Amino acid sequence: MHIATSPAFKENAHAALANAGLQKALARSGPSFIARRAAAVANLPEFEKLRDTARDIKNHALANLDFYLEAYEAKVLESGGKVHWCNDAEEAREAVLAICEAAGARTVTKGKSMIGEEIAINDHLEKHGITPVETDLGEYIIQLRHELPSHIIAPAFHLNMEDWEDAFRKAHSDLPAHRQFNERRDVLIEARAKLRSKFLAADVGITGANFLIAETGSSVIVTNEGNGDLTQTLPRVHIVLASIEKCVPTLEDCTSLLRVLARSATGQDFSVYTTFSTGARRPGDLDGPEEYHVVLIDNGRSGMLGTDFQEMLRCIRCAACMNHCPVYGAVGGHAYGWVYPGPMGAVLTPSLIGVDKAGHLPNASTFCGKCESVCPVRIPLPKLMRHWREREFERHLTPASVRANLGLWGFFVRRPALYRLATRAAAVGLGLFGRKKGRFTRMPMASGWTAGRDLPAPEGDTFFARYAKAQRAGQV
Amino acid sequence: MSKQEILTAIRRGLKRGPLPSDQATMLRGHLAQHPRHLIPARSRLPHSEQVDLFVRNVEKEFGSVTRVADMDAVPGAVADYLAAQNLPGSLIMAPHPDLRAIPWSARPLLDIREGRAEASDAVSVQHGFAGIAETGTLMLPSAPERPVTLNLLADTEIAVLRASAIVGAYEEAWDKLRAEIGGMPRNVMLITGPSRSADIEQTLELGAHGPRRLHIVLVEDAATA
């Protein structure tokens, strides 16, 4: 497992705000994702209805997940493949290693896979003398820099051109030292040349799966680069890593989900390569892997069924929620401290590594609701974050000062007359004190808040008093 | 065994045992009938307009299209495209009967080899199974006569596609595949434009790991509606 730094979210966020390179990357890339999605959505009048369809398809699949997984496995076996069921990350790592060792693998190419990050498969293979090579361009530089991806579809979201040049000069020391990196294209061409030989030499290719299809026993990958296809086509063995909730019933179900996936993710109408793989090489085929393995991983998903968090299992990993999140936009993905950042990570991470470690994440939300409003499968992310806050409170994981203040607030709010009196006194008092400047730059017990901004002084009565007044005047 | 543990855990979460047989039968029916969901109206057009929509969408996604009157015109279109792009005339071609029947000898400068692609191949010629107008997407199911490597290893992929093979929506292409091929092929690629990446500063660059160019020679064999 990657060591989660989620417990240190506050410190991580602080460091992120002070990281000039990260802030440059966030300022550049954040707005473009939002604009591209908006354009794609505007170009498809049925988009909102398609989101309902997508939600319903996933709900149906999850409600019958046991049935569809067994139907899926039967089809994989029929097409000459094998399914390895794994309860947790450790079983999955062992299953992958055993397949690689049986194949006598020395190098393994990899397509981008978030479940691969979740089970930290690369470290495990390396420990056993097998070299994994990430082939998605973003994942490739992440691997060179020994980092986690900072975004689920754009792993190198946090990096700038100078980081690429720096990493490539260090890693490709066999190339002429005086070569120029004048434009992005130069980086791409060098990566293409470097990775081409890796694709051809690999013994095993590992990909993730955006979907598994019960009707046909297919695994589906969605990419723009074509690296996933080279990974799963050229080596003798193809291993698919997939978590259990990826399974959908039919090609038609999958197609409807694909219609909302790329539009929500990159704002493309459709990704460049959407590929359905079904079993091993067939008689007469001139290419394709001789072995096809699916490592099917639970790792905490089944435990989410039947709970408040079942809806999170609809997630199709498009990243629209983080692309539109003001918190992600301010601190980037690494601050979240584990594999999944942004709102989807704030809900999923506590489920997978525990709310005791990841309790800060569901608190890192302004509850603006933007994430839910763009989610292609309509996951109520703010509501689920609130559920985590409640659980955190119930389990006494909330800091004592917060609990004490909430208790104090609770005392007043249960006594409306007292609450109104107290807030009125506070509003009038603060108004008087702050009359001169109209704002407070410092406030006892709220220094965390006023450190970054001023507190405006109240300019009159409380909301309740104004509302009552307006009601009496017949204005509301 | 992990399989049983996972299935049991799923059922525990769903607060039920294995599905009752009537419900299982219903779900098997869903798999067999694979009903369609909402299909966007944009591709519901007369066939000739679907062909135009397909071409527009391919071009929007940085692919290119040459429209020719019949199969006999394909060698000329391929040779002209290669010359215009300053590319060599050596081709690796899918061993598909439709492509083999083309009178390639009309352009003797084209040097054609049949089979799967190798890393050294610069230009591939693939057989297009279907075109999907909705997004300008090619459907390329694998088969001995349609190797997958042709879609991946060459710098330039040229697909020969009959206009009659163009459909409106993805669902129609799946039905065409079910009707003409039967079971699910080992690999089905849906390709929309040439390879690209936006991983460097989230800015689009063409030609990541797959072909830098995707060219479609569209053979106008369909009766115009």
Q: What tens digit of pLDDT does each residue of B66-106 get?
A: 999 999 999 999 999 999 999 999 999 999 999 999 999 99
Interface check for B179 against chain A (CB to CB < 8 A): the answer is: no
The reply to whether residue A225 touches residue B42, judged by beta carbons under 8 angstroms, is: no
User: Both B21 and B55 in a single domain?
Assistant: no
8 Å CB contact of A252 and B36: yes
- Residue A309 maps to a domain: no
- For residue A148, is it within any domain? yes
Residues A274 and A127 placed together within one structural domain of the fold: yes
Contact B59/A at CB under 8 A: no
A430 shares a domain with A289? no
* B92 lies in the same domain as B155: yes
Q: Kindly state whether residues B4 and B114 are assigned to the same domain.
A: no
Residues A376-400: pLDDT tens digits? 999 999 999 999 999 988 887 778 8
Domain annotation covers residue B142? yes
Question: Do the beta carbons of residue A390 and residue A374 sit within 8 Å?
Answer: no
Residue B224 belongs to some domain of the structure: no
Compute the Cα dihedral for A190, A195, A198, A199 and give only its sign. Answer: negative
Domain at A117, CATH number: 3.40.50.10420
How many domains are there within chain B? 2
pLDDT band at B225 (very low <50, low <70, confident <90, very high): very low
Best residue in A56, A282, A287 for a mutation probing chain B (most B CBs within 10 Å): A287
Domain count, chain A: 2
Buried (b) or exposed (e) across B163-188, using 16+ Cβ within 10 A? bebbbbbbbbbbbbbeeeeeebbbbb
Same structural domain, B140 and B208: yes
Q: What is the mean pLDDT of chain A?
A: 94
Tell me, yes or no, whether B161 and B207 share the same domain: yes
**Buried residues in A220-233 as b, exposed as e (16+ CB within 10 A):** bbbbbbbbbbbbbb
B181 and B101 in a single domain? The answer is yes
Contacts 24+ apart (CB under 8 A), A409-414: none
Distances in whole angstroms, Cα of residue B22 to Cα of each of A64, B25, B26:
13, 5, 6
- Digit-coded pLDDT (tens) for B145-155: 999 999 999 99
- The per-residue pLDDT for A1 is 55
Assess whether B7 and B63 both reside in one domain.
no
The pLDDT-based confidence of A238 (bands split at 50, 70, 90) is very high
Q: How many CB atoms lie within 10 A of CB B2?
A: 17
For residue A354, tell me if it sits in a domain: no
Pair B13, B98 in one domain: no
Is the pLDDT at B224 greater than 70, yes or no? no
Are B64 and B152 members of one domain? yes
Q: Name residue A414's beta-bridge partners.
A: none
Instruction: Measure in Å the smallest separation between the Cα of A64 and chain B Cα atoms.
Output: 8
Distance from CA of A425 to the nearest CA of B (A): 50
SS3 content of chain A, % helix, strand, coil (to 5): 55, 10, 35
Closest by Cβ to A278, choosing from B30, B34, B184? B184
Calculate mean pLDDT across residues A21-45.
94
SS3 at position A124: helix
Q: How far is CA B176 from the centre of its chain?
A: 13
How far is residue B110's CA from residue A389's CA, in Å, rounded to a whole number? Answer: 68
B54 touches chain A (CB under 8 A): no
- B52 shares a domain with B30: no
| From A214, A244, A272, residue closest to B193, measured CB to CB | A272
Q: What angle do CA A337, A339, A341 make, to 5 degrees?
A: 70
Please judge whether A250 and B19 are an interchain contact, meaning their C-beta atoms are less than 8 angstroms apart.
Answer: no
Residues of A in contact with B5 (CB under 8 A): 87
Question: A308-312, A441-445, B139-143 — which is least confidently predicted?
Answer: A441-445
Q: Which of B142, B187, B197 sits opposite A225 (nearest CB)?
A: B197
CA–CA dist A26, A380 (Å, integer): 25
Q: Does B26 touch chain A (CB under 8 A)?
A: no
Substitution target from B187, B191, B195, B213 for chain A, most A beta carbons within 10 A = B187
Would you call A383 exposed, middle or buried from its count of C-beta atoms within 10 A (0-12, 13-18, 19+)?
A: middle
CA atoms within 13 A on the CB side of A438: 0
Local confidence band at B183 (pLDDT 50, 70, 90 cut-offs): very high
Size of chain A in residues: 476
- Round the CA-based radius of gyration of chain B to a whole number and report it: 21
Q: How far apart are CA A351 and CA A304, in angstroms?
A: 7
Number of H helices, E strands in chain A: 23, 12
Token pair belonging to A394: 């119930």
Kindly state whether residue B167 falls inside one of the protein's structural domains.
yes
Which amino acid, residue B153?
L
How many percent of chain A have pLDDT more than 70? Answer: 100
The answer to whether A131 and A306 are in contact (CB under 8 A) is no
Q: Which domain holds residue A52?
A: 6-302
List Cβ neighbours of A120 (8 Å cut-off, separation of 6 or more): A1, A2, A89, A93
Q: Let me know if residue B225 belongs to a domain.
A: no
Residue A118 falls inside a structural domain: yes
pLDDT of residue A226 exceeding 70, the answer is yes
Are B21 and B81 members of one domain?
no
Q: Does residue B115 surpass a pLDDT of 80?
A: yes
Q: What average pLDDT does range A310-327 have in this prediction?
A: 97
Is the pLDDT assigned to residue A295 strictly greater than 90? yes
pLDDT at residue A12, as a whole number: 95
Which pLDDT does position A424 carry in this prediction? 85
CATH number, domain containing residue B131: 3.40.50.10420
Residue A324 near residue A305, CB atoms below 8 Å: no
- Domain for residue B189, yes or no? yes
Q: Do B208 and A199 touch (CB under 8 A)?
A: no
User: What mean pLDDT do residues A414-427 have?
Assistant: 88
Domain termination site, one of A302, A327, A353: A302
Residue where one domain finishes, among candidates A274, A302, A330 = A302
Short-list B140, B127, B125, B128, CA closest to B93: B125
Give the pairing of strands A131-134 and B213-219.
unpaired
Between β-strands A82-86 and A131-134, what pairing exists: parallel, antiparallel or unpaired?
A: unpaired
Enumerate residues 100 to 159 of chain B having a beta carbon within 8 A of any beta carbon in chain A. 115-116, 119, 134-135, 137, 142-144, 147-149, 151-153
* Interchain pair B192, A155: CB under 8 A: no
Say if residue A296 is in the same domain as residue A430.
no
Residue A468 pLDDT exceeds 90: no
Smallest Cα distance from B224 to chain A, Å: 27
* Least confident stretch, A71-80, A273-282, A449-458: A449-458
Alpha carbons A44 and A38: distance in angstroms, whole number: 10
A377 belongs to a structural domain: no
Instruction: For residues B117 and A286, give the distance between their C-alpha atoms in angstroms, rounded to a whole number.
Output: 9
Does B27 sit within 8 Å of A273, measured CB to CB?
A: no
pLDDT (average), residues A30-59? 96
Q: Which residues contact B169 (CB under 8 A, 6 or more apart)?
A: B39, B40, B43, B132, B133, B134
Residue A400 lies in a domain: no
User: What burial class does residue A147 get, using C-beta atoms within 10 Å of its C-beta: 0-12 exposed, 13-18 middle, 19+ buried?
Assistant: middle
Residue A168 lies in a domain: yes
The residues near A336 (Cβ < 8 Å, ≥ 6 apart) are A6, A9, A12, A342, A345, A346, A349, A361, A364
A446-459 average pLDDT score? 79
Residues 6 or more apart whose CB falls under 8 angstroms from that of B28 comprise A71
Domain match, B175 and B115 both: yes
Residues A292, A421, single domain; the answer is: no
> What is each CA distance from A407 to A401, A413, B114, B123, in whole angstroms?
10, 10, 77, 72
Q: What is the CA radius of gyration of chain A?
A: 25
Beta bridge partners of A273: A223, B191
Cα angle, residue B28 at apex, residues A309 and B35 outer, rounded to 5° = 80
* Gap from A306 CA to chain B (nearest CA, Å): 5
The average pLDDT across A64-78 equals 98
Cα A248 from Cα B160, distance rounded (Å): 33
pLDDT at A452 over 90: no
Question: What would the two tokens of residue A154 be?
Answer: 């754009």
**pLDDT at position A448:** 74
Tens-digit pLDDT profile for residues A138-173:
999 999 999 999 999 999 999 999 999 999 999 999
> At B167, which helix (H) or strand (E)?
strand B166-167
In DSSP notation, A287-354 reads SS-SEEEEEEE-TTSGGGTTSGGGGGGG-----HHHHT-HHHHHH-SGGG-SS--HHHHHHHHHHHH-
A195 touches chain B (CB under 8 A): yes
ipTM surpasses 0.90: yes
Enclosing domain of residue B177 = 42-219
In a domain? residue B137:
yes
